[in-house]
Amino acid sequence: MINLIAEPGVVLSWDEFTQTKPPYSIALDGYVNSASDLDFNGSYLNLDHHSGVRRLITRSTCSQVYLAIVLGLFELFQKDNQPHANIYVNNCDQDVCLSYWLLKNPDKIHSLSAQDNIARLIIGEDFLDATAGSFPIDLTRDTVQQSFWIFEPYTIARNNGELKNYSSSQMVELIMRVYERIQLYTEGKAQKIEVDARYEIVGGGKGWTLAKEIGAYARAHLYQEGVQALITFRDNQDGTYTYSIGKISGFINFPIQEFYNVLNQAENLIDPNNQWGGSTIIGGSPRRSGSKLKPEKIEKIVNDYLSF
């Protein structure tokens, strides 16, 4: 049995996870603030591509899940010769939704070929998620527009600013709605939607752009337009902001990880589980509380830091 447990905003250390969760537990995509790890004796697994890794050479969570299944995950995570795991997540993005579908359908992926629909979805999501959406894609292709339809429940909720206040049950419900669309996709029954990639540039500085995300795929469009480093934001219903900080790769000189520290100091955020953070090429404001800093304040902090 594969059990899904959503705990919005919860972030544990590896030790906290292994000491407080039951055996046969799997943490996905940032639930544990640590690089991927396995406790073989206790049957605990963390699959992540955010903390303590080189993003460019680390596969997305769904790709790690796929490889784990193919290479014998359910030889260890099983009861009565059946797959058994408690899946812990703290968000419901594309990577999490696809990872959950894979864990629920291990029998369907052992003999995948590159031409199979689900294989294309894994590869596409892997490239986009591992590069924080900066990997160049043709937004007009049928397969791309089908993937947009699959993950539409998530992108709508994110675009509306609803995700920050989601309860556990709402998060599980959204994951299951995406799950059903993945099922239809594997059966050749997916729909297509055109992309809303609108944005409004409101500022920035030397080598970087500050923009408000209007469409769900604004960041992808900005990267396609030649932006190499950016900070984007969305307004939340409670007056806070959700920020993303990104650059196309580690080859670009835009010190994202140093910004995390500066912005945490600016907001006096000391709780390690509710801070600005992320990887070397993508990160953002605290998932749980959002940010109280206005875009013009963010712009000044970043430009002041870069001027030193």
Domain boundary among 186, 219, 242: 186
Mean predicted confidence (pLDDT) in 100-126: 82
Among 215-229, 231-245, 289-303, the least confident range: 215-229
Residue 281 falls within a domain, yes or no? yes
Let me know whether 154 and 206 are in one domain: no
Confidence of residue 152 (pLDDT cuts 50, 70, 90): very high
For residue 84, the model assigns a pLDDT of 95
Domain that holds residue 182: 2-186
Q: Which of 127, 66, 62, 69 is nearest to 98 (CA)?
A: 62
Element containing residue 209 per DSSP (H, E): strand 208-213
Let me know whether 173 and 70 are in one domain: yes
Residue 24 falls within a domain, yes or no? yes
Let me know whether 128 and 271 are in one domain: no
Domain boundary among 137, 159, 186: 186
Identify the top-confidence range among 76-80, 148-152, 208-212, 265-269: 208-212
CB pairs under 8 A, 24+ apart, for 225-232?
228/252, 228/254, 229/254, 230/204, 231/204, 231/298, 231/299, 231/302, 232/199
d(CA 79, CA 121): 29
Q: Quote the number of domains for the chain.
A: 2
d(CA 97, CA 113): 21
The per-residue pLDDT of the chain, averaged, comes to 88
Given a cut of 90, is residue 212 above it in pLDDT? yes
Residue 191 falls within a domain, yes or no? no
Do 266 and 301 contact (CB within 8 A), yes or no?
yes
Confidence of residue 77 (pLDDT cuts 50, 70, 90): very high
Higher pLDDT, 194 or 186: 186
Let me know whether 69 and 156 are in one domain: yes
For residue 50, the model assigns a pLDDT of 67
d(CA 197, CA 256): 24
d(CA 28, CA 36): 9
**Please, what sign has the CA dihedral across residues 69, 192, 171, 161?**
positive
Residue 140 falls within a domain, yes or no? yes
Buried b / exposed e across 269-297, counting CB within 10 Å, b at 16+?
Answer: beeebbbbbbbbbbbbbbbebbbebebee
Given a cut of 90, is residue 168 above it in pLDDT? yes
Given a cut of 90, is residue 15 above it in pLDDT? yes
Burial of 142: CB neighbours in 10 Å, binned 0-12, 13-18, 19+:
exposed
Mean predicted confidence (pLDDT) in 284-306: 92
Let me know whether 33 and 173 are in one domain: yes
Per DSSP, the three-state class of 87 is strand
Confidence of residue 297 (pLDDT cuts 50, 70, 90): very high
Given a cut of 90, is residue 226 above it in pLDDT? no
For residue 122, the model assigns a pLDDT of 83
**Please, what sign has the CA dihedral across residues 41, 44, 48, 50?**
negative
Among 67-76, 136-145, 168-177, the least confident range: 136-145
Given a cut of 90, is residue 153 above it in pLDDT? yes
Residue 273 falls within a domain, yes or no? yes
Give the single-character DSSP code of 285.
S
Let me know whether 43 and 175 are in one domain: yes
Let me know whether 296 and 272 are in one domain: yes
Let me know whether 267 and 143 are in one domain: no
Mean predicted confidence (pLDDT) in 47-53: 73
Residue 193 falls within a domain, yes or no? no
Residue 194 falls within a domain, yes or no? no
Let me know whether 21 and 162 are in one domain: yes
Domain boundary among 133, 163, 186: 186
Let me know whether 252 and 284 are in one domain: yes
Q: What share of the chain is helix, strand, coil (3-state, %, to 5)?
A: 40, 20, 40
Residue 222 falls within a domain, yes or no? yes
Confidence of residue 282 (pLDDT cuts 50, 70, 90): confident
CATH number assigned to the domain comprising residue 229: 3.10.310
